[in-house]
Structures are given as C-alpha cells and as structure tokens.
Amino acid sequence: MQRVRRFTTFRIRPAVYHDTRPVRIAAWTVGGEPVPFAEAVQERFEPFTLGQPWGRPWDTTWFDVRGEVPAEWAGGQAELVVDLGFTGDQPGFQAEGMVYRPDGEIVKAIEPYNSWVPLPEPGPFRLLIEAAANPIVQVPYEYEPTAMGDKATAGEEPLYRLKQLSVASRDRRVWDLLQDVAALDGLVDVLPHQGSRRAEIVYALERMVDVMDPEDVAGTAARGREVLAPVLAGRAADSSLIVSAVGHAHIDCAWLWPVRETVRKVARTFANVLDLSERHPEFVFAASSAQQYAWLKEHQPRLFERVRAAVAAGVIRPVGGMWVESDTNMPGGEALARQFVLGKRFFAEEFGVDSEEVWLPDSFGYTAALPQIARAAGARYFLTQKPSWNETNAMPHSSFHWEGIDGSRLFTHFPPAETYNSDLGAADLARTERTFRQKGAARHVLGLYGWGDGGGGPTREMLAAAQRKHDLDGSPRVRMDDPDSFFRAAEAELPTPPVWVGEMYLELHRGTLISQARSKRGNRHSEALLREAELWAATAALRGRAPYPYDELRRLWETVLLLQFHDILPGTSIAWVHQDAERDYERVTGELHSLVTTALDALGGEDDGVEGNGDDGRAQVAANAGPYPLHGVPAAGIGPASPPPAAVPRQANGRFVLDDGAMHVEIDERGTLVSVLDPATDRELLPQGLAGGVLQLFRDTPREWDAWDINDEDKRSGLDLVEPVSIGIAGDAVVVRHERGDTVITMSVRLSEGKLTYAFDIDWHESQKLLKLAFPLDVRTDRSTSEIQFGHLHRPIHQNTSWDAARFETVAHRWVHVGEPGFGVALANDVVYGHDIRNAQGPAGRPMTTVRLSLLRAPRYPDPSADQGRHTFSVSLRTGGVPEAIADGYALQLPLRTVHGGAAEPLLEVSEPAVVVESVKLAEDRSGDLVVRLYEAHGNRSRATVRTRFSWREALATDLLERAVDGEALREATPGGAVELELRPFELLTLRFRDPAA
C-alpha cells in the first residue's frame, strides 16, 4: 500500500489537470468591511501576480481574472483552478472566495477542498473573485490566546500569497480513477487486516499500478480502471446498514468569524450546492436556520431566487424549522417557542414548506422541555449527534423516542458516524457500522456529508464516493436521500423504540453556562423586556390606545433569537462576535424600553423606568409584567405598589444582624453568613461550623476547549474569599468589598419579606479563574430541582453512577430548590445559569447539601479578554417550596416598573398560581386576535379559570404557530367571559381569543 499511495499522490493526482494556461490578474483591496459586487466592479483594479501577498486579516481583495479556453478543449472539462494560499488546514476556517460573472451572476465558491470553477466553452472569459482574508483562528488542539479574533488587534500584515490562478483541462478519466482508488484505499484501513476482502482490494490496487505507465497516466488510466472494476462491483452484504446520505453544511451563525462573515459563508455554500445540483440530479441538500435564508434574501437576492427554485424542485430541503440552531440550555421557554414561530413562518411564507424535524447537530446539551415545544410547533423528529462527544458515558441508543418533562415524545436519531461533516469516506462509514446502537433491530441510519462549521458543503468527490458505495462489498450501502424519507423509514422499522426520558445532558462544554456573562445578561434581560413590550403593547392595542408594533417586535425578536445561536449565547466565539452581541443587546434594550414607554404612556402612565422617581404631578403607580401579584399590584396590571421596607442592619457582638421577623441573619467580619434562622420552623439553614454566602475562586485551566469547558478536578484548588478590605452598613444593606489585584467585588446584602438578597457589582480582571457563590445548607436530600423552560427538572445530587458524577455543572434558569418533606430552600437569580449542587457531610458528620452558583469565568481562548470588566448579579435565598422559588425567580427578572399616571386592569386573571401566563401578544397573522401562552409550573395536574376583562367571540387552543388544534386542556369557554382549563403536569397551552375588543 505504500507503493500504491505514493503512486496515487505523485502520479495520478497531478495528472488530473494535464494542461494549464496562464490568466491575466488584476486586484482591488477593499481596505475595510465587505462591499457588494456592484460597488466593487466599479473600482480601479491594479495588475497582480502569482506569489504576491494579499489579505490583511478580515479584509477583502477582489481579483479580476481574464483568460481564454483553447478551442481544442471543447467538451466542458475546462476549469479555472484557484489556490488563494490555502494552508491545508480545515476548510471554512481560512481564505475563501466567491466567483462572479461580469454581470454579477454568482458561479460558485472557492475553498481549500473545492478550488475549481467551471469555465464556458472555448473563447475568452472574465471572472471576478471576492476573496476573504479570514485568519486561521483555530489550529486543532492548540488553544492559545489569539489576537486574530478582534479586528482591532489582528494586525496589518497580509496573511496569504496567491499560489495559483490558471485555466486547466480536467481529465475525466484520471479523475474517475482517482475516485476509484480513494474508495478502495479507504476500505484497506477499516477492513479486517487478515480478511480476504481486504487482500482482494490490495491485490487489485497493486495490479492497477502495474498496468499503468507512470510517464503516461492519462493514456493508461483506462487500464487502471479496468483492473479495479471487478472489486468495485463486489456487492454489499444483505445485512449491511443503509446510510441515507444527505448533503449538509452546518454553518455556524458566528464562531471564529463575525456574523457579517457568516452572511458571505451562507452565500458561498448555497452557490456551491446549486452548481453541484446542476451536475448531479440525484443530489439533495438539507439546510437549517431561517436566519441564513433571510440573509441570502437580503444580501444576494438573485442567488436567493435560485435557491427558492431549488427548494421547489426538491433539491434543497429547509430543515429544523428554527430561526437559528440555537442553544437550548439557556434561552427561556418563550424564546425557544419563538425560534420555531419565526423559523417556520419564514419557511412557509418563502418556500411553502413545513419541516417536521428539529435539526440541532451541534448544540451543547438539550433541555428536557424541548420535546413538548417541538411537538407544539408541529415537529415529529429530532436530530443531533453532539452527545457522541460525551467524555464519560456513551448514549445507549441511536434511534429512540425522547420524552420531555410533560410526556411529549420525539422520534430521535443520532447519526452514528458521530459527525455532521462526513466525507462519506470509509472511516466514517465504518464508524457508522460500529457505533449504531440499534443494529439487528434496524438498518436505516443517516449520513450527513459536506464541509461544515465554516460552511462549504458537499463536493463532487463526496458524491463520487457515494456513487461507488451505493452497493459495495465491505461498506454499508449508501443512497442519496432526504431527511423526511429517512425519518419515516427509520421510524417504520422501529415500532417500539427505546425511550430516553428527560434532558440530554452533554458531558462536555459545561463552561458554556458561564462564559461571556455580559451576553448572558443581555439575553435574560432582553427576554424580560420583550415580554413587557408585548404585554403592554397588546393591552394598549385592545383598549384602542395605540397600534401594535408588529414590525418592531419581529425585528427585535429576530435579533435576540440570532444571539441565542449555540456559539454566541454560550460564549464560545471570538471577541468580535461578543463585542457585536453586547452592542446589539444595548440597542435592543433601548428600543424595547421605548416600546414599553409608548405603550404605558398610552395606557395612562408615563414610564419613569424601573427605579425612576420623577414626578410630573400625576400619581406614582407601578406596572407589573410578571405572572403573580407583586407588592399589591395585580399580575399584568398597573396600580399603586406597597413594597415592605427592608430590614435595617445593626451590629451586635461583632456581627452584622438582619431581622425582618420572617428570617434572622448574622454576618461575620469575613462577610460570610454564620447564621440564617427561619423562625417559623425554628431551623438553622447553615450546617454547624460552616459559613454561607462564601465567594470561592477556583483555578480554571481546562484540558482543552477553554471557553467551552470546565473540569471537575479544578475544584481541588479553590480559595475562599474571606478577607474583605471593608465591611459595613450602608442604608439597608451590609456592604462587603473584596479586592484581589485589579479585581474588585462589592457585595450588598439585604433582607426583606423573609428573603435574603445579594447584589453584586464586580470589576473583574482575573485570568483563567472561576468565581462561585457557595451556600452549604443543613438539608438532607438526594436531588435538586432546577427551573428549565416551562417547568422544572429534578436531578440527582449524589455520585452513585458515572452519569451522576459527570453531571457536576448543570443549568438552571431563574431558580433552584433543595428540600426535605415540609422544608426547603430556594435560591433565585437574575442572570446566573451555571449551578453546582452536591450532597455531602458537614464537619460533625451530619448530612448537608451545598448549592453553588457560578458567577464568572476568565477563559483566554478564543477571546483572550473574555469577561474582563464590570458585571452585576442578583441572587436571593429564602425558605419555602417550589411555588415560592417560581415567584422569586419572576420577581427578580420582572421587577415592578415605576410610572406616573392611572391604574390599568389586567387583560386577564388566572385563578390558580400553578398555571402561569408566559406570554400575552397579538397574533402573528396581524388579525388582531389575542394570543396567550400558559404552562403548568408546579408539576401537578392543575385546573384554572382564566377570567378576561375584554370581549371576544371565540377561544381556541392552538399550536405555537397559532393554528387551531384539538386540546383537552381547554375544557370550556364562555365568550367574553371566562375559560376553564385543566392542564397536565408541565403542559404548555396556547390560547387564541378571536375578535377581542375592550
């Protein structure tokens, strides 16, 4: 095989292009952000030569290429061969280009493993190449800080040298021989070493070298193919797996490149797909993310129309039905619902399609709420492969039912190649055969092939591999297919599939719950503001006070949903991406405050901000956008508020004491809790001898994937911050200040209504450190309860199994709870997502539970300045059950908004606290119908009456897309009056009130 491979590399491959001709090259460098073709083509191009450097980091150079196809090359094999200076590293992570005709029509893209352009029939031609000098930010298994992720620090030196631009004639016989060899050579590495099939292939490859003339590869290629033909004709075993090969290009909306570059990556990928489809009618390409199609429509409308035609022809299949391939751990329930609402509406409006699968191959774990949300959006199937990355435990199934917290199920498939970037090579197909968990019971598996992450998609070499492996001895059978056909076949052959219940926790990338805290804060607060804006705008619209801002709200939702992409919200992108995200969140916040102000003013109260106290002579009232009454203000209403005063701190016996009658708290000179007493039960919350509310600083040096990972072993190197530079009383707060180098942590502790609240103001300048807030609790339990979307999840907090041990950092939204029967402790927050909860034994050998909230990290890659600067957090602690935890979480996320004006009744009132109103808005179809989304929050079967304060003709249960469905939850509806509901545990329900009026 050494002889065969050398012959292939140095004889066959160079002979694919047997003749080349030079071209004339001129170039123009943009010197800034990309410009459209129409602008670039008007610029002055200067002569350019091969070998000349080009491309400052993130800049763009346009090449004007002119040449001629010789008359003797008639027959369609003439190509322009381009090497922009490719390094041989991964595709989509370095220089790329888009090729245009002089009229602006796109031909295809240029990338490291797809570097050819078809040329017209003989005669002169002119093409323009938009070449992007994207720097290589990722070198596999090297996670060193890089300046390349920020345009301001990336430097001015050119990154690339133009290596090749020439007209060449592709010898189809040699190229086909090369594909034959590639298919067989791959099998040599995966077949049993002593097996007869492997020996047969090796012998044939040897004979191929023997019969060919190394000095005349083109003239003897046919002989080589004749020798290989018999072994290529060997048929696969009857028991072989059937791989449904679907073209794919997972394109990250941002990662090691900014969003603006993804816009171009999308266009390049679709251009390649369209070119490939013209040559291979059997080719099918699946692409998710409505946002990416929307970018194409906005920035490349001519290409978008070609895509639209390809969708109509069945060549391109829009899949997933989501706005982007979002993270699913951190977005709120309504945001995950809107991913489907906006994504599916776009696909329906632009293409007339409704995909039935959820397509998330690369997100970092999957919430147990997703099956219900997906089913409510009309989905039946779910695809991912990410759990194959688990560090500790292998998922037990490849095709199975996934059951969510409410009992909803999705038929789920993990492509057993364990990649969404397959090349259909023998290694990927052998892994498919080896790792498919349902072997024996099933044969259908999915194979996603095409270059991804940075885009690019399938290549003609991959299609050649699929053709040769359609029925090849030693390989699974490969057939071109589409996702829907695959899922229907896979579902049909498993009438009783195994079931996985609950979240699909990724045993990797746990640090994504903490990295880039400002982006996470922007997400949580934007979700809250969107809720407020929709609620007050809908209230004002129904009462005839102001028009509903459909366009503005849709545009703002699109921005927030984009920022929930699985490399933006998790904090794993370059600095440029997160700088853009923070600016976007700032803009979204300003625009949403303006919409809230407009709606509240129309309702009779001028918005004065959440903490405003201006006075224009009108009465001061408060707007409550939360689902529960708060300080005397009804849920979703406006009225006078009567917040109770906070406890006044005092000093006694060297301690700071806070007592409001419902809780007694003592803080020592270290700034830590030494007593938290619940008078109602006469229970001390802290284990004897242990302090609570302790800031802990840990080493944070992951084995790899810095911004992504935290490792459990780093907890062995923790430092308690118990030596504050100052501690004292300021008004109603005990204020503790820590300094560590340039890092300053200010912690203000208050007590009110039996709830202890920590307000953090942190100027963070650590490097590779992890900051946690720890509360050891005198509670004996073996599980914790954490809020997720539209409900909550119980998780073991022991380490009985390897699955339990691996779950050492978990996600929660606004609250977590630990408790014994009749007694519990709830901790709520306004922006924290990462939690670390374990049972243990205290110093006296008594059982205890420690709850730690993960506040901040400081990873160096891919953003060396990640999380540096100012951050604010709020965390509260109280005794109580899950209902109290839910109420505290909403109160922190949706505080009262102070306004001046009159009171306003809420549009509706729910009789049962377990049934929570999550969203109040007007219908997406702009009919004026009112849409209300509710869910059962306590995990019980709950009945509730929804009383309305507006008239309506009809109340319907709908899916997320606001289409009527049969729903058992809607028991009775009295027009203009009340709706009677009965919801199953955690059931999600959307109500549509037709023809509402004040």
Tell me what pLDDT residue 436 has.
98
CA distance 914 to 181: 65
Among 85-89, 360-364, 714-718, the minimum mean pLDDT is found in 85-89
CA dihedral 324, 329, 335, 341 (to 10 degrees): 50
Tell me what pLDDT residue 613 has.
46
For the annotated catalytic residues, the residue numbers are 362
User: In angstroms, what CA-CA distances link 805 with 66, 505, 810?
Assistant: 63, 12, 12
Supply the mean pLDDT for the chain.
96
Concatenating the DSSP letter of every residue in 333-391 gives HHHHHHHHHHHHHHHHHHH-----EEE-TT-S-B-TTHHHHHHHTT--EEE--GGGG-S
Concatenating the DSSP letter of every residue in 955-968 gives EEEE-TTS-B---T
Question: What tens digit of pLDDT does each residue of 458-501 get?
Answer: 999 999 999 999 999 999 999 999 999 999 999 999 999 999 99
CA dihedral 12, 14, 15, 16 (to 10 degrees): 90
Tell me if 15 sits within 8 A of 34, measured CB to CB: no
Residue 157 in 3-state DSSP?
coil
Q: Hey, how many other C-beta atoms are within 10 angstroms of the C-beta on 768? A: 15
Q: Residues with Cβ < 8 Å from 996, sequence gap 6 or more?
A: 542, 928, 929, 930, 950, 951, 952
SS (H, E, C) 192-218: CCCCHHHHHHHHHHHHHHHHCCCCCHH
Tell me if 636 sits within 8 A of 948, measured CB to CB: no
Query: pLDDT confidence of 74, banded at 50, 70, 90?
Result: confident
Tell me what pLDDT residue 140 has.
65
CA distance 381 to 320: 9
SS (H, E, C) 576-590: HHHHHHHHHHHHHHH
Phi, psi of 807 (to 5 degrees): -90, 60
| Residues in the chain, overall count | 998
727: left (phi over 0), alpha (psi -120 to 50) or beta: beta
Concatenating the DSSP letter of every residue in 774-789 gives EEEES---SEEEEEET
CA distance 101 to 758: 62
Tell me what pLDDT residue 604 has.
85
Q: Residues with Cβ < 8 Å from 247, sequence gap 6 or more?
A: 273, 276, 283, 284, 285, 286, 449, 450, 457, 458
> What mean pLDDT do residues 379-407 have?
98
Question: What tens digit of pLDDT does each residue of 726-753 get?
Answer: 999 999 999 999 999 999 999 999 999 9
> What mean pLDDT do residues 108-128 have?
95
How many Cα atoms occupy the beta-carbon half-sphere of 298 within 13 Å?
10
Q: Which of 539, 549, 531, 434 is nearest to 917 (CA)?
A: 531
Concatenating the DSSP letter of every residue in 69-138 gives E-GGGTTT-EEEEEESS--SS-TTSS-EEEEE-TTS-EEEEEBTTB-EEE--SSEEEEEEEEEE------
Residue identified by tokens 């420690």 is: 850
Tokens of 835: 């939690």
CA distance 219 to 206: 18
Tell me what pLDDT residue 617 has.
63
Tell me if 407 sits within 8 A of 792, measured CB to CB: no
Tell me what pLDDT residue 653 has.
93
Residue 851 in 3-state DSSP?
strand
Tell me if 242 sits within 8 A of 445, measured CB to CB: yes
Tell me what pLDDT residue 611 has.
43
Residue identified by tokens 């001046």 is: 900
Question: What tens digit of pLDDT does each residue of 952-961 get?
Answer: 999 999 999 9
> What mean pLDDT do residues 433-454 have?
97
Residue identified by tokens 């619209």 is: 541
- The rounded Cα 24 to chain-centroid distance in angstroms is 44
Give me the helix-helix angle, 550-562 and 517-542, nearest 10°: 160
SS (H, E, C) 928-949: CCEEEEEEECCCCCEEEEEEEC
CA distance 117 to 272: 10
Query: pLDDT confidence of 605, banded at 50, 70, 90?
Result: low
Residue identified by tokens 């099998």 is: 187
- DSSP code for 320: S
Phi, psi of 975 (to 5 degrees): -50, 130
- DSSP code for 692: B
Tell me if 818 sits within 8 A of 862, measured CB to CB: no
- Higher-scoring residue by pLDDT: 74, 568: 568
- DSSP code for 418: -
CA distance 969 to 991: 10
Tell me if 151 sits within 8 A of 56, measured CB to CB: no
Q: Residues with Cβ < 8 Å from 780, sequence gap 6 or more?
A: 820, 839, 847, 848, 849
Tell me if 319 sits within 8 A of 289, measured CB to CB: no
CA distance 294 to 251: 14
Question: What tens digit of pLDDT does each residue of 245-294 get?
Answer: 999 999 999 999 999 999 999 999 999 999 999 999 999 999 999 999 99
Tell me what pLDDT residue 89 has.
66
Strand partners, 17: 170
Query: pLDDT confidence of 141, banded at 50, 70, 90?
Result: low
Q: What percent of the chain has a predicted confidence (pLDDT) above 90? A: 95
Tokens of 867: 């999380």
How many Cα atoms occupy the beta-carbon half-sphere of 915 within 13 Å?
25
Phi, psi of 732 (to 5 degrees): -95, 15
> What mean pLDDT do residues 36-42 have?
98
Strand partners, 196: none
Model confidence at 39: pLDDT above 80: yes
Strand partners, 29: 61
Question: What tens digit of pLDDT does each residue of 738-792 get?
Answer: 999 999 999 999 999 999 999 999 999 999 999 999 999 999 999 999 999 999 9
Q: Hey, how many other C-beta atoms are within 10 angstroms of the C-beta on 49? A: 9
Residue 985 in 3-state DSSP?
coil
Tell me what pLDDT residue 614 has.
47
